[in-house]
Structure 1
Amino acid sequence: MTWVDAIGWLGAALAITGSAMKTIIPLRCIGIGANICSLIFSSFNHNYPSLVVNLILLPLNSVRLYQMLGLIKRVKTASKSDLSMEWLKPFMTRRKTKAGEVLFAKGDVADCMFFTISGRFRLKEIGIDLVQGQVVGEMGFMSPSNTRTQTLECLDDGEVLSISYDEVRQLYFQNPQFGFYFLRLTSERLFQNMERMEEEIARLRAAVPQAETVQKAATA
């Protein structure tokens, strides 16, 4: 057996091993190794179809590996900062919105989430205006019923990025680290919503005695 044959068999072994991988990063790394071995073996044996295939697959695997590593790095950074989710932008689709348009209504089936780029948007039930660069609609991904709990209305013409839950689910399950940090982000956002609700309840409770005092003074 020559060294070229040995490289060919190594490439075949890597290809088989890659097919057994359960997570995307090891699969891409082994795939790159298999592509390199197959390129060497094909070039020495003048196997041009295999040469062309691996010339296409090698840069493709390399780009996908780079994207996934970058995604994990950005998710880690986001989880330690202000919950910015700009790391999802390369995977999202741009969409224009018009004033008065309802992107989703309370009770609707939730199938995607949005990232605001420009314009003004409001969550009607709680009266919160969203600034640019915010993610909205991600909690439906974690909801057992997958229904919207708020209505999102566009107040001014603008643009949003959207990503379907199916795409998020693919990213979620392709890599355990991505799944962990996405879960952490959504959990922290949920706790922020709970804190906001508790503050509103405390404000309303404090306002009740004041209202009773004013009413007693008016009837005295």
Structure 2
Amino acid sequence: MSFLESVSYVDLIGYFGGGITLWGIYQKTMIPLRVGAVFGNLGFIGFGLLAGSYPTLVLHAVLLPLNGYRLYQMMRLVRDIRDSAGQDNSLEPLLPFMQRVREEAGTVLFRKDDAPDRMIVIHSGSIVLEEIDVHCGPGDVLGEIAAFTPDNRRTCTAVCETECELFTLSNDAMVQLFYQNPRFGMFLVRVVVQRLLKNWRDADARAQALLT
């Protein structure tokens, strides 16, 4: 009897479960991997039920909802990232994670080369970045770049020009939210890109002024 003749439809279901599981493991991204795991679980559940292999049945009956839930989480994350890409830079949903503080005029919020400890959103008042003579006002964000720089240091000294009301977010909380909250991650990317574009425009304007 040849191998093909000896293979029953129950065995084929088991081979299907194993094959689709291997296909999922071979994938380089999480969603196809979870899809392969879910269909692999279904195949092995069918095999375990028909072949009377109850350890296989129980194992994959437990793994199926776990893989299904992880697949749902990944698809929801992708959807949230797409949704956040079309939203504005409002930080209102993140205010519960932030601390509201008041600082007097002349207060040094941080100095150049300090280790970053918090991100600052200006609610009211004015802050100057001394080294580059940039004046920041309500809605501006400070301190978001230092946490991601290679040397992990502040690039400027920030001083309150007037009494300021600020929202602050600790560095640890900022990094956690960056990885966990797509809207916050998109917000930070936009802020950093806007800062880089502004610096590029300012540098270009200075270069043009020197040429004229």
TM-score (norm: length of structure 1): 0.55
Residue 26 of structure 1 is matched in structure 2 by 73
CA distance in 2 between counterparts of 1:16 and 1:169 reads 30
CA distance in 2 between counterparts of 1:187 and 1:128 reads 17
In our comparison, the structure showing a higher alpha carbon Rg is 2
Alignment RMSD = 3.6
1:187 positional shift:
2.4
Worse-superposed segment, 181-190 or 111-120: 181-190
Cα distance 1:172–1:205, how it changes in 2: closer, same or farther (>3 A)? Answer: same
* Aligned residue among 169, 185, 198 for 1:192: 198
Cα distance 1:74–1:186, how it changes in 2: closer, same or farther (>3 A)? Answer: same
Q: Is the 8 A contact 1:72 1:177 kept in 2?
A: no
Q: Is the 8 A contact 1:117 1:132 kept in 2?
A: yes
Q: Is the 8 A contact 1:114 1:135 kept in 2?
A: yes
Letter in 1 for 2:173: E
* Structure 2 SS opposite 1:170: helix
Unmatched segments (≥5 aa) in structure 1: 1-11, 30-64, 207-220
Letter in 2 for 1:191: L
Letter in 2 for 1:149: T
* Aligned residue among 94, 110, 123 for 1:117: 123
Residue 107 of structure 2 is matched in structure 1 by 101
Work out whether 1:17 is the aligned partner of 2:66: yes
Cα distance 1:178–1:198, how it changes in 2: closer, same or farther (>3 A)? Answer: same
1:182 positional shift:
3.2
* Structure 2 SS opposite 1:114: strand
Residue 130 of structure 1 is matched in structure 2 by 136
Residue 44 of structure 1 is matched in structure 2 by none
Letter in 1 for 2:153: T
Residue 77 of structure 1 is matched in structure 2 by 87
Cα distance 1:93–1:15, how it changes in 2: closer, same or farther (>3 A)? Answer: farther
1:123 positional shift:
0.9
Letter in 1 for 2:207: I
Letter in 2 for 1:138: E
Letter in 2 for 1:119: G
Cα distance 1:140–1:118, how it changes in 2: closer, same or farther (>3 A)? Answer: same
Overall identity of the aligned pairs, in %: 33
* Structure 1 SS opposite 2:166: strand
Cα distance 1:178–1:153, how it changes in 2: closer, same or farther (>3 A)? Answer: closer
Cα distance 1:153–1:85, how it changes in 2: closer, same or farther (>3 A)? Answer: same
Q: Is the 8 A contact 2:84 2:186 kept in 1?
A: no
1:135 positional shift:
0.8
CA distance in 2 between counterparts of 1:133 and 1:177 reads 17
Work out whether 1:154 is the aligned partner of 2:160: yes
CA distance in 2 between counterparts of 1:72 and 1:92 reads 25
Cα distance 1:98–1:19, how it changes in 2: closer, same or farther (>3 A)? Answer: farther
* Structure 2 SS opposite 1:193: helix
Unmatched segments (≥5 aa) in structure 2: 1-60
Q: Is the 8 A contact 2:84 2:182 kept in 1?
A: no
